[in-house]
Amino acid sequence: MRILLVDDHALFRRGLRMMLAELMPEAQLHEVESCEALPQLNGVPFDMVLLDLNMPGAGGCKRWS
């Protein structure tokens, strides 16, 4: 399973990553700090995206969904 974390708070991403890695050791975890960073993933498909809807610029994530 491929999981993408999108959040502007590094500490939150790190904690969530650690928790998910413990619960789902087989998962491939990826993270970005903003919606503007999504193009660097080059259209890689994900099974699950955990997105902070309240971060600045989150409205721009809609074009990548």
What is the rounded CA–CA span in Å between residue 58 and residue 7? 9
What domains, with CATH codes, occur in the chain? 2-60 (3.40.50.2300)
- The 10s digit of each residue's pLDDT in 37-60 is 877 777 788 999 998 888 876 665
CB–CB of 5/33 below 8 Å?
no
- The 10s digit of each residue's pLDDT in 6-47 is 999 999 999 999 999 999 999 999 999 988 887 777 778 899
Please check the confidence at residue 65 and state whether its pLDDT lies above 70.
Answer: no
